[in-house]
Each structure stands twice: as C-alpha cells, then as structure tokens.
Amino acid sequence: MNKARFLLLPLVLLGGCATTNPGGGDVPANADVTSKTMGNGDKVDEYRVNGELEMVRVTPARGAPYFLYDRDHDGHTDAEKDKVNKVHWQLYSW
C-alpha cells in the first residue's frame, strides 16, 4: 500500500501542474503589438488595446521570456509603481 502511494504521488503532482496557469502569455486578442530589439539583443514586445498599454513581454537574448502587466491602465507597468518587481515567468507551456 505504501509503495502504491509513492507511485501515485508523482502522477497527482503532474496533473496539478498541468492544470495551473503559468502566469504569462495571456495576450489580448485585439492587441496592437510593437516590437523592438534592444542593444543587448533583448526583444521587447508591447501589447496595446485602444492605445492603452496592457502588457510587455521581454525575451532576453539568453533566458526565458517574462511578462510585465499594467492592470490599472495608467501607462506604467505594475512593477514600476510598487517598487516591487512583479515579473511573471512562463516556465513551460503545452
């Protein structure tokens, strides 16, 4: 019985991971995308809806892409206002 629990545990954890939202990549359907490449090779994509900033996706030259959001539509990402870097990393996707 104990052996069966240890075999079942990874399957349950894997199922939980498959149902969670990785936190990034919720691109608005009607967004205007502005892309630019920085001097160090990082790619920055700004997503705007009706001229208002929705989110920014930063794809570093090395490393995983991350997302910054502007949820209250004041033109500044949430990390800039709160002085706390609220970066959403997309670790994996299907």
The residue among 17, 8, 24, 14 whose CA lies nearest residue 56 is 24
Asked if the model's pLDDT at residue 22 lies above 50, the reply is no
More confident residue, 59 or 85: 59
Mean pLDDT calculated for residue range 15-26 = 52
More confident residue, 77 or 5: 77
- 52 near 58, Cβ under 8 Å? no
Residues 28, 52: Cα–Cα separation, whole Å: 12
CA separation, residue 48 to residues 25, 31, 33, 86 (Å): 14, 5, 7, 19
pTM of the model: 0.58
Residue 3: the pLDDT is: 72
